[in-house]
Amino acid sequence: MPKELFPSSFECDCGYQLHFFENTIKEMKLMSKQKKTLLSDGADPKHTIVFEHGLMVDIQCPKQRKKKNLQNKK
């Protein structure tokens, strides 16, 4: 399960860490109270944080997507 590190950093299940400005995270959490909101760090590999109802609910990981795709092909 991905986790939120204090207060504007996050860690994916694969161990990759994402770091943002506190104001950016506050804005994303506020926006996500209205609708699902995504935030990417723009790095390669591209990880995307998913916010819903004012909280971080998931991190979309390119490594995990590759694993899922390989499992679906079997």
What are the tens digits of pLDDT across the range 26-62? 999 999 999 999 999 888 779 999 999 999 999 999 8
User: Are 56 and 4 within 8 A, CB to CB?
Assistant: yes
Round the average pLDDT of the chain to a whole number and report it: 87
Report the share of the chain in percent with pLDDT over 90: 70
Confidence (pLDDT) at 66: 54
How far from the centroid of its chain's Cα atoms is residue 37's Cα?
10
The CA distance from 32 to 70, in Å, is 31
Q: In 3-state terms, what secondary structure has residue 9?
A: strand
Place 65 in a pLDDT band, splitting at 50, 70 and 90: low
The CA distance from 35 to 7, in Å, is 22
Lateral strand order in the sheet of 3-5 = 3-5, 9-11, 17-19
